[in-house]
Amino acid sequence: MIQAILWDVDGTLAETERDGHLLAFNQAFEALQVPWRWSETHYGALLAVAGGRERLMHDMQTQEHAPADPRERRSLAERVHRLKNEYYARIVGAGELPLRAGVRELMLDCERAGLRMGIVTTTSRSNVEALLETHLGQGWESAFAAVVCAEQAPRKKPDPQAYLAALDALRLPAQEAVAMEDAPAGIAAAKAAGVPVIVTRSYYFPATESADALAVGPSLGRIDGWSPSADSGSQRIDLKQIRRWYAQCER
Ligand code: XBP
């Protein structure tokens, strides 16, 4: 039996990377007079590095105008990252980053069914707060039985630390949870923790495959394009469908 749904944040709940973090990074570069900007394509390549600060440090290895001194680089990365998160919160707070189709509806299914939910992300807590407060209101945290962010899981995905921390908080065997993920690193993290995964492909990860996922598809908001296919009785991926896929895998 499924006892909990564990939600990844970036790319899964919303297109936060393209429509949030990338814009906010470029705004922070501009405000701090950093002499480079990231394109949508370049940012896509940088997503191979988990963590905003880590991503920035990685990029500086090949940015010709980056400071040569490693301490200066680290301090610049910290300043940009802090400001990026402030800009990100502004973008989200202005209502410019909607939840992906079907996400809110599936959350409501869980609430109605009394199924626990968790947030499992290695993004900063402030980013999660900004996004969920905007969409679920001030009491957003009460909707989740566990909230694990980068501060509790410094070893970023694909390390399973965040998933293991969530399972521990929920006192749940891995097999009784289902992870909702979009990116290879997140899928790998869930699998390494033993948690079955449902993959909703996102803008930056449009072709994610996962042989042993419960299901892989384009969006929770539609029933076409899923493998295994979704039951046509609903307009979206609902909790019944998640339970169906889970039961198919148990057999
Ligand atoms: C997503 C990330 C994060 C965000 C930026 O992790 O890799 O780094 O891109 O957030 P997850 P920060 O898939 O675990 O949600 O700048 O706060 O790192």
**pLDDT, tens only, 110-136:** 999 999 999 999 999 999 999 999 999
Question: Is-catalytic flag, 8?
Answer: yes
* Segment 86-106 mean pLDDT: 97
Characterize 82-94 residue by residue with b for buried, 16 or more Cβ atoms within 10 angstroms of its Cβ, and e for exposed. ebbbebbbebbee
Ligand 1 centroid – CA 140 distance (Å): 20
Nearest CA to ligand 1 atom 16: 52
Q: How confident is the model at residue 208 (pLDDT cuts 50, 70, 90)?
A: confident
Q: What is the pLDDT of residues 226-250, one digit of tens each?
A: 999 998 789 999 999 999 999 998 7
User: Is residue 176 pLDDT above 90, yes or no?
Assistant: yes
What strand order describes the sheet that includes 215-217? Answer: 146-148, 116-120, 4-7, 177-181, 197-200, 215-217
pLDDT of residue 232: 79
Judge contact between 220 and 236, C-beta under 8 A.
Answer: yes
Q: How confident is the model at residue 211 (pLDDT cuts 50, 70, 90)?
A: confident
Nearest CA to ligand 1 atom 10: 123
Mean pLDDT, the chain, integer: 96
Ligand 1 centroid – CA 170 distance (Å): 22
φ/ψ region of 140 (left if φ > 0, alpha if ψ in -120 to 50, else beta) reads: alpha
Q: Which of 8, 59, 182, 238 is catalytic?
A: 8
User: Is residue 68 pLDDT above 80, yes or no?
Assistant: yes
Q: Quickly tell me which residue has 């973008």 as its tokens.
A: 91
pLDDT of residue 251: 59
pLDDT of residue 205: 96
In testing the pocket of ligand 1, which one of 7, 9, 10, 13 has its CB within 8 Å of the most ligand atoms?
A: 10
* Segment 95-114 mean pLDDT: 97
pLDDT of residue 210: 81
Q: How confident is the model at residue 17 (pLDDT cuts 50, 70, 90)?
A: very high
Ligand 1 first shell, C-beta below 6 A? 8-10, 17, 21, 50-52, 81, 121-124, 127, 150, 157, 183, 186
End-to-end CA distance of the chain, in Å? 13
Atom of ligand 1 nearest to the CA of 182: 13
Q: How confident is the model at residue 43 (pLDDT cuts 50, 70, 90)?
A: very high
Judge contact between 5 and 180, C-beta under 8 A.
Answer: yes
Question: Is-catalytic flag, 10?
Answer: yes
User: Is residue 19 pLDDT above 80, yes or no?
Assistant: yes
